[in-house]
Structure 1
Amino acid sequence: MHHDRFDYSPIIDRPNLRLPGNARVALWVVPNIEHFLFDRPSTSLVPFTAPFVPDVLNYGWRDYGVRVGIWRLMEALERHGIRGTVALNSDVCDRYPRIIEEGLKLKWDWMGHGTNNSTLLNSQDKAEEQGIVKGVLHKISQATGRRPKGWLGPALTESFNTLDILAEEGVEFVADWCNDDLPYQMRTTAGKMYSIPYSLEINDICAFLDLKKSADEFYRMIMDQFEVLYEEGKKSPRVMSICLHPFIIGHPFRIKYLNRALAEIAANDGVWLATGTEIIEWFKKESEAGGGRG
Structure 2
Amino acid sequence: MTNPTDNALFDYSPITERPPISWPGGARVAAYIGLNVEHFLVDRPSTSIWPGSADLVPDALNYGWRDYGPRVGIWRTIQSLDRHGIRASALVNSAVAEHYPQIITAGLERNWAWLAHGRTNSILHTGMTRDEERDFLTDVVDTITTATGRRPQGWMGPGLTETFNTPALLAELGLNYVLDWTNDDQPYRLNTSGMLSVPYSIELNDLLLFSKGFTGPEFVQMVKDQHEQLHADSEHSGRVMALALHPFVIGQPFRHKYLDQALEYLAAQPDIWLTTSDEIADHYRSTVAEH
Q: State the TM-score, normalizing by the size of structure 2.
A: 0.96
Among residues 54, 59, 65, which one is paired with 1:55 in the alignment? 59
1:194 corresponding residue in structure 2: 196
1:125 corresponding residue in structure 2: 129
Q: Percent identity?
A: 49
Q: Please list every run of at least 4 consecutive aligned residues from structure 1 whose deviation after the TM superposition is greater than 6 angstroms.
A: none
Instruction: Give the CA deviation at 1:91.
Output: 0.3
Q: For 2:21 and 2:64, how far apart are their aligned partners in 1?
A: 45
1:222 corresponding residue in structure 2: 223
**Any conservation in 1 of the 2:11–2:191 contact (CA below 8 Å)?**
no
**Any conservation in 2 of the 1:177–1:197 contact (CA below 8 Å)?**
yes
Moved more, 1-10 or 273-282: 1-10
TM-superposition CA deviations, 1:33-61 (whole Å, max 9, x none): 00000000001111111111111110001
**Any conservation in 1 of the 2:28–2:238 contact (CA below 8 Å)?**
yes
When the two chains are superposed, the root-mean-square deviation of aligned CA atoms in Å is 1.0
2:46 corresponding residue in structure 1: 42
One-letter amino acid matched to 1:69: G
Q: For 1:161 and 1:237, how far apart are their aligned partners in 2?
A: 30
Q: State the TM-score, normalizing by the size of structure 1.
A: 0.95
**Which 5+ residue runs of structure 2 have no aligned equivalent?**
none
Among residues 202, 205, 211, which one is paired with 1:203 in the alignment? 205
TM-superposition CA deviations, 1:50-78 (whole Å, max 9, x none): 11111111000100000000011111111
Query: Is 1:180 matched up with 2:184?
Result: yes
Q: For 1:187 and 1:167, how far apart are their aligned partners in 2?
A: 12
TM-superposition CA deviations, 1:197-240 (whole Å, max 9, x none): 0000100111111x321122111111111111112222221100
**Any conservation in 1 of the 2:189–2:289 contact (CA below 8 Å)?**
no
1:242 corresponding residue in structure 2: 243
Secondary structure at the aligned position of 2:61 is classed as helix
**Which 5+ residue runs of structure 1 have no aligned equivalent?**
none
Query: Is 1:107 matched up with 2:128?
Result: no
Q: For 1:111 and 1:288, how far apart are their aligned partners in 2?
A: 21
Instruction: Give the CA deviation at 1:170.
Output: 0.9
Q: For 2:132 and 2:189, how far apart are their aligned partners in 1?
A: 26
Q: For 1:19 and 1:208, how far apart are their aligned partners in 2?
A: 31
1:5 corresponding residue in structure 2: 9
One-letter amino acid matched to 1:236: S
**Any conservation in 1 of the 2:116–2:155 contact (CA below 8 Å)?**
yes
**Any conservation in 2 of the 1:81–1:273 contact (CA below 8 Å)?**
no
TM-superposition CA deviations, 1:151-175 (whole Å, max 9, x none): 0000000111111111111110000
1:23 corresponding residue in structure 2: 27
Q: For 2:216 and 2:269, how far apart are their aligned partners in 1?
A: 22
